[in-house]
Structure 1
Amino acid sequence: MGPIILAIESSCDETSASVITNGKVLNNIIATQAIHRKYGGVVPELASRAHQQNIVATVHEAIESSGISKTDLNAVAFTRGPGLMGALLVGVSFAKGLALGLKIPLIEVNHMQAHVLSNFIEDPKPDFPFLCLTVSGGHTQIVLVRDYLDMEVIGQTQDDAVGEAFDKAAKIMGLPYPGGPLIDKYAQEGNPQAFKFPETVMPGFDFSFSGIKTAFLYFLRDEKAKNPTFVEDNLRDICASLQHHLVNMLLHRLAEASAKTGIKNIAIAGGVSANSGLRKNLKMMGEKRGWKIFIPAFEYCTDNAAMIAIAAHHKFLKGDFCSLDVVPLARMPI
């Protein structure tokens, strides 16, 4: 019988808990925070307060629905970082208290490593080594994965993340938060070749998305000066063209990394990996280049405790525990 671990995720605006036993995820309970929608983005103080309100019920549901008792747990895992400091602090503190009370080990998990390892929650699972394009609202990375806990970032954004580019573009168009999924929805009905946008070329396998946000802002400004209803008249084509451009920027760098390293096992992870355009075009590119493609289920793309659980499982097997004086880290590189 393998270890039974409770995992807690609280890095941003979703409180999540999951129980894993012998490497099998039993559940993935997520409490979302709708309060941020009216502000057009995540408000850190409100996020930390909502975590405090949600964490007891979320953990209780995870334990109860798994059919285990708290006394069956062999360890408690939590997201140490990266993330919002106040939000992380709620999860870290709760995990510490539970581990201390049950006299069981504590496991810290790197949020970005967990995103990569979400590819191991369900079959099919990638073989090592593989490249993982990790894309979210806060990160854009190409990660060389040699083993479960042996990862190296070989390319990353030098400014904004691609998820932020999606959300900011949506906000510029007047779409509600979170705007990225809405761009994806409208893009499916639009012409991806209708409009062209510039691309910032970076050295190596790095990315830059700040320029595209500025270019998009000026593009809409100029077009609305000629036609005040330009966005409403062309919403689907605008979304399709922008999404096509951003996805191409991601896949172009990923293709270069694959060619340079010779690795053809390719995975994606993170919130933006739920984007239908990215999934579709990655599969098409994989067929052309002979890649084996791995994409997590939708529920494991956004922030969730199941990915923390699978990472904690492998850390438990290595005896990689942390002390009770551990503190959260807003920035925590792989």
Structure 2
Amino acid sequence: MHISQLSNLPSKPVLGVESSCDETGVAILRWVPEAPGSGLLAHALYSQVKLHADYGGVVPELASRDHVRKLLPLVREALAQAGMTPADLGGVAYTAGPGLVGALLVGAAAARAMAWALDVPAIGVHHMEGHLLAPLLEADPPKPPFVALLVSGGHSMLVEVAAIGRYRILGDTLDDAAGEAFDKTAKLMGLPYPGGPALAKLAEQGRAGAFRFSRPMTDRPGLDFSFSGLKTQVLLAWQQSDQSEQTRADVARGFEEAIVDTLVIKCRRALEATGTGRLVIAGGVGANKRLRETLAAAGQQDGFRTYFPRLQFCTDNGAMIALAGAIRLAAGQGQDEAVRVAPRWDLQGLQPV
């Protein structure tokens, strides 16, 4: 079922809460099927990047504590942006997984408490479904069926989307996800945290062809991803180089090109296998400039269409959770009052809409 066919969309806006890792996101959304993209009334986001920078990665306990401090102020900020009071809300959606268990529990407990106090329905949302549906926030959203490339710090997967809630994973991460490989490679090259964006920016100064690394698992059939070996190749190349600033940029470019080419090759295979002419790209790595440009060019060449969320909705955010929650609440899928989270959660096990 496409979202425009849902007749029971909440008449009041839905509050979305995201707290799966190191971003606290809150949004308020009223979906208007006849005017896609117009129903986002407010969104507020707080990033914990500075908090975790000294550790070179996310510290789960610190992340949970910071969500406690920031969540309710962000809810108040979003309500003020929308010119609303809590009584104006018609439902609450929150990220129930996958993610860090402590961080998830903060958002889930707060969201359930608000829903109980307001006597409105609440629903736990799958984090990756939120990313998958993020392009529906745009003015020209994709309609199922399509293939989704979900690329983030913890996930690299290709998903066949027959309809909302009907997902089949075509390829998944066997070890390091693309975003994780970006961050780890940046760290071994001495780049600041968060490493992925820093490496991508440095790659812009690199010389094409100075370093060429393998395109992992593209020399055999299949759609799974494995980037740990690529990371090792880059480490050896860096250690054996003169480690000048230009060489650092050249290595960064060679690494980025290897990641992007691998993702593009796999996307083309998935589209051919499914016979689908629409490709959604979502998740934090979906903000990568080279990936966006290369996939758009591949689409023009092969005749498929690409759909990206705007940059601010590639990374974790409350708007995608509010949207996914609104769709499921419209389908009558609100849950009981128990606080439940799922640090590991199979996307294919979701209930169809």
Q: TM-score, normalised by structure 1?
A: 0.96
- Structure 1: which 5+ runs fail to align? none
Paired letter, 1:210:
S
SS of the aligned residue for 1:39 comes to coil
Give 1:231 deviation, angstroms.
Answer: 4.3
Match of 1:298 among 292, 298, 311: 311
Give 1:267 deviation, angstroms.
Answer: 1.2
In the alignment, is residue 21 of structure 1 matched against residue 30 of structure 2? Answer: yes
Q: 2:116: which partner in 1?
A: 100
Give the conservation status (yes or no) of the 8 Å contact 1:18–1:309.
yes
Q: TM-score, normalised by structure 2?
A: 0.90
**Distance in 1 (alpha carbons) for counterparts of 2:61 and 2:280:** 34
Match of 2:85 among 69, 84, 99: 69
Paired letter, 1:90:
V
Paired letter, 2:225:
F
1:202-241 mapped onto 2 (5 Å cutoff): 203-223=221-241, 227=242, 230-241=243-254
SS of the aligned residue for 1:27 comes to strand
In the alignment, is residue 323 of structure 1 matched against residue 339 of structure 2? Answer: no
Q: Percent identity?
A: 41
Give the conservation status (yes or no) of the 8 Å contact 1:144–1:151.
yes
1:191-202 mapped onto 2 (5 Å cutoff): 191-201=207-217
**Distance in 1 (alpha carbons) for counterparts of 2:57 and 2:344:** 20
Give 1:326 deviation, angstroms.
Answer: 3.6
Number of aligned residue pairs: give it.
Answer: 329
Paired letter, 2:232:
T
SS of the aligned residue for 1:236 comes to helix
Give 1:235 deviation, angstroms.
Answer: 2.0
Give the conservation status (yes or no) of the 8 Å contact 1:3–1:22.
no
**Distance in 2 (alpha carbons) for counterparts of 1:244 and 1:77:** 37
Give the conservation status (yes or no) of the 8 Å contact 2:92–2:322.
no
In the alignment, is residue 160 of structure 1 matched against residue 176 of structure 2? Answer: yes
- Structure 2: which 5+ runs fail to align? 1-9, 33-38, 348-353
Paired letter, 2:336:
S
- Relative distance call for 1:57 and 1:152 in structure 2 (3 A) is same
Give the conservation status (yes or no) of the 8 Å contact 1:251–1:282.
yes
**Distance in 1 (alpha carbons) for counterparts of 2:193 and 2:336:** 38
**Distance in 1 (alpha carbons) for counterparts of 2:46 and 2:67:** 9
Deviations 1:8-67 (A, max 9, x none): 000000111000113411122001112111111111111001001101101111112111
Paired letter, 1:112:
M
Give the conservation status (yes or no) of the 8 Å contact 1:192–1:244.
no
